[in-house]
Amino acid sequence: MLNRTPGLISTLILCLIICSACSSGNRTEEKVGFSTSLPVFASILDEIVGSDGPVHVLLDDNESPHGFSPRPSDVVGIESSQILVLGDPDLDGWAASFGGEETIFLTSFMDDDQWLENGEVRNPHFWTDPSLIRDLAPAIAAALCGDDILRCNAYNENVLRFSAELDALDARLSEELVSFSSSVVVSSQPFMDYFLRRYGIETIGSLESIPGKEPTPASVIGLLEKARNRQCIGILAQRKLPDVAARLFASESGLPIIYLDPSGPRDGTSYVSFVLENAQLILQLVASDP
C-alpha cells in the first residue's frame, strides 16, 4: 500500500492538472455575448459573427432610438454582454452608460469623406447604404477579433461572404435605380439620405431636422416651393415615428407618402432583405411618377 501512494498522488495531481486545463479551455471558448440597440445592427452583426455570438437587441419592432427608455431587462442584457455595439453617440449613445465590458460605435470606423452632414450635425443613419456597410465590415470584424481571437478567422471568412452579397445587392440596386437618378423627394427626417446619395436620388430637405422637432411655418413653405419647382415625386416617412408633419405636407403638396423602416424588424430578417424591402418601396414611388 505504501509503495502505491506516490503513484496514486501523482495520478491525482495529473487529473487535477488536466481538469484545470479543460476548465480553462472551456472558459476561453465560451461564446462572446453581444448587445446592440437597433435590429438592423443585429442583422449586420449576425452576418459577421454567425451563430457563435448571441445578440441581445434593445429596441422592439415598433420602437425608435429617439427617446427610447431602456427597461430593467435591457440593462441586465447589456451588463451581461461582453461587447456592446452601437451606431453613433448622437443616435444611441445613451445605451453606452449601462455598461458592458466594451462599447464599439460603428461610426468610429467611418472616414470623414463618408459622412453626410445636416447643417453642422453629422447624419448618423449610415447603415441605409449597403456599399458603406461593405466598406466598414472588415474594420468591424477586426474590432471584434480583439475580444475573441479564437473566432477571428471565422469572422473574417464571414466578412468575405457578406461583402460578396453586398456587392451583388449594390449592383442590383444601381441597375434598377439608374433610370431614376434625377428623381427628387422630401423626407420627414434625414433617415434615408445615405441610401439616396448612393443611388442618385435627390432630397430637397427634411421636414424635421431632429425627430419630434416641429418644423417652422417658414421652413414648410420653403420646402413646398422647392417641391413644386423641382417636381418632387413624394415624401419618405419613418414607419415608427409620428407622421403629423408628413401628412400635413402631403395635404398641402398633393404628394404621396411612403413609409419606410430604417431600424429593421426583430424577426431575424437579414440585412440584405432589410435593404431590399425599403428599396422596393422607393422604387415603386419613383416608377409611379408620370
Residue 178 C-alpha cell reads as 439608374
- Class at the top of the CATH hierarchy for domain 175-288: alpha beta
Residue 62: its pLDDT value, please?
Answer: 65
Q: CATH assignment of 34-174?
A: 3.40.50.1980
pTM of the predicted model as reported, rounded to 2 decimal places: 0.85
Do domains 34-174 and 175-288 share one topology? The answer is yes
Pair 106, 87: CB distance under 8 Å: yes
Length of the chain in residues, anyone? 290
Domain spans of the chain, in order of start: 34-174, 175-288
Residue (of 104, 90, 88, 91) closest to 55 by Cα position: 104
Residue 39 C-alpha cell reads as 435590429
Residue 10: its pLDDT value, please?
Answer: 44
Per-residue pLDDT in tens (0 to 9) along the chain, 290 residues: 434 444 444 443 334 333 433 433 333 445 668 889 999 999 999 999 987 667 888 887 667 776 676 777 777 777 778 899 999 999 999 888 876 678 999 999 999 999 999 877 899 999 999 999 999 999 999 999 987 788 999 999 999 999 999 999 999 999 999 998 889 999 999 999 999 999 999 999 999 988 888 899 999 999 999 999 999 999 999 998 899 999 999 999 999 999 999 998 888 899 999 999 999 999 999 888 76
Residue 100: its pLDDT value, please?
Answer: 60
Residue 80 main-chain phi, psi, to 5 deg: -85, -5
Residue 14: its pLDDT value, please?
Answer: 38
Q: 500500500: which residue's cell?
A: 1
Alpha-carbon 84 to chain mean position: 13
3-state SS, residue 214:
coil
